[in-house]
Structure 1
């Protein structure tokens, strides 16, 4: 089963940063893409937004658009309102965009970009591995933890990554048959993958991925957000239910929603922009709880971060 692609323009470079989204997430993917464009005005890579149907991207944003027809290959994966075709579309991206790109950096839409040399990241040596990623935060302080989703499938323990940021070597990915392996696994275990795409990717890539520094996927949790302010993080990833556009309990600092609102008012004036909340400092006891969570995990977080000599270190 192969895929087909319709694009609004040809590729300009051999490397790309790719977002996959549906229409609901389009403003958020476009916001992150626009942040990247501003960070790298003289970039040597393309910025691409992919979807399974053509998306109406504002003309004010100079981004490549690709509509990928996956031919129903994910229909048996237990799709729902939260996990749509766009969730799994990253599996088909290396196949769909192979004629255009040698390296692809996939980013989720729920990210906030701080900085970093993305062009250099796209060129790092993966030592023959098909992909590189950042450990899931559950293994930052407890590297030996056996993820519950792998345990439920009877899979052995090992390094486990967060699938929101993935650096893909297109040739190695295709030569290892990743798409066919993922489709086979997803069909066999539909309904049993606790974390859907992340469970699937960790299952088929177990033992064969390279590990990147957490600055490329700083998972913004209750026990890690204050450390983010102490480091030169590049990609902040909102992995929990609280997002800059959906934060009714004021779990996030208002800076993220404020920046997104300003972007949407300019580029998506017909969409409802988020209203920044008061933030966690307005929650009684919130600051003390955050400080205590960080104090308890500080030593283990320091040891985890010290494994990486610099932001381009890749461990195999």
Structure 2
């Protein structure tokens, strides 16, 4: 399998940390990254049988098998949603010392476009990330205010990063003894931890990480808000239960769930990866289907059922909070990668499908979907 072009940077790289189940997804995305960014991509596979033999022939994609789990201290808390593997992204840079800067990516992010300015962006504290927009004004725990929740995990700064995209200065990162820091943190805050490695990183780097614009980690909570024109996604993050490899989307609504599935399918096909084993479309019984279709029908007639009114109220509040957040960041000098930007004054409206709101993907996304084929054909 050939790599697009011959110029490959030896200073920068991407990396994934996945289990055996998501290794095919990471491999498909890695192949696309190698072609579009012309950089090495490292895939750390933990807890499964070796996959290196069947993947080793791909230039620019490098495998690491079960190298990280032994570095994780005993007794760290985890959950079904946040298993122990989430901590391992923290330790991977010690195996990437040959690079000046690396970017960690969750496997549920789709690489949409390339922006090389990230490699020269100043990182005074060795880390850049995007704010977690799910908790811009809210707490993930209904029994606690946002301030109380942050205090319970040892975070006094108002900003809370999302660990799905981490831009790391390798030398600065390796100066920290993360195993010892993690042990100390768990001893003090284990009872409050809910997002585990993310809580830990926010405590360690509070007020010492460079904040990137939403473009770098365009999270699922932003899908229905309609700010993709103001902040065109570089990495589109399906940070929600429905992942792009599951095939969970509403036929006839060209939203990001539908678009993301088509995008990943094309990338997987080009990489020779079979994603069928990961498909898990939701099964909807007849009564539920009739209920959803009825709601959608009366919504189309101009009457909004209570479910739709509730969802649109939540989107309106999310927009209000987002606008306030963007205004606050702008007043403080802007994002590390983008000092000037216009706060949207109007938004595209989402379509109610009878169950949820789905924002039709903008024209730029359809253009990008075509670019996947164009870029891969040039490889």
TM class by shorter chain equals 0.7 to 0.9
1:301 to 322, 347, 354: 322
Say if 1:147 and 1:160, in contact at 8 Å, map to a contact too.
no
Instruction: Describe how 1:91-110 pairs up with structure 2 within 5 A.
Output: 91-98=90-97, 100-110=98-108
- SS of the residue corresponding to residue 226 of structure 1 reads coil
Instruction: Describe how 1:21-36 pairs up with structure 2 within 5 A.
Output: 21-36=18-33
Residue 269, structure 1, aligned to residue 274, structure 2: yes
- SS of the residue corresponding to residue 204 of structure 2 reads helix
Residue 134 of structure 1 corresponds to 130
Say if 1:47 and 1:64, in contact at 8 Å, map to a contact too.
yes
Q: CA deviation at 1:216?
A: 0.1
Number of equivalences: 296
Residue 49 of structure 1 corresponds to 43
Instruction: Describe how 1:102-121 pairs up with structure 2 within 5 A.
Output: 102-117=100-115, 119-121=116-118
- SS of the residue corresponding to residue 87 of structure 2 reads helix
Residue 77, structure 1, aligned to residue 73, structure 2: no
CA deviation vs aligned residue, 1:244-271 (integer Å, no higher than 9, x gap): 2346575953111223234445623374
- SS of the residue corresponding to residue 182 of structure 2 reads helix
User: TM-score, structure 1 length as denominator?
Assistant: 0.76
2:16 to 11, 14, 19: 19
**Cα–Cα, structure 1 residues 294 and 155, in superposed 2: closer, same or farther, change >3 Å?**
closer
Residue 5 of structure 1 corresponds to none
CA–CA separation in structure 2 for the residues paired with 1:311 and 1:289:
35
- SS of the residue corresponding to residue 75 of structure 2 reads helix
Say if 1:146 and 1:158, in contact at 8 Å, map to a contact too.
no
Q: CA deviation at 1:22?
A: 0.9
Q: List runs of 5+ in structure 1 lacking aligned partners.
A: 1-10
Residue 65 of structure 1 corresponds to 63
**Cα–Cα, structure 1 residues 292 and 191, in superposed 2: closer, same or farther, change >3 Å?**
closer
Say if 1:260 and 1:273, in contact at 8 Å, map to a contact too.
no
Q: Which moved more, 1:21-30 or 1:106-115?
A: 21-30
User: TM-score, structure 2 length as denominator?
Assistant: 0.65
Say if 1:131 and 1:166, in contact at 8 Å, map to a contact too.
yes
Query: What do you get for the CA RMSD once the two structures are aligned?
Result: 3.7
Residue 260 of structure 2 corresponds to 256
Residue 89, structure 1, aligned to residue 85, structure 2: no
1:312 to 337, 341, 349: 337
Q: Which moved more, 1:233-242 or 1:171-180?
A: 171-180
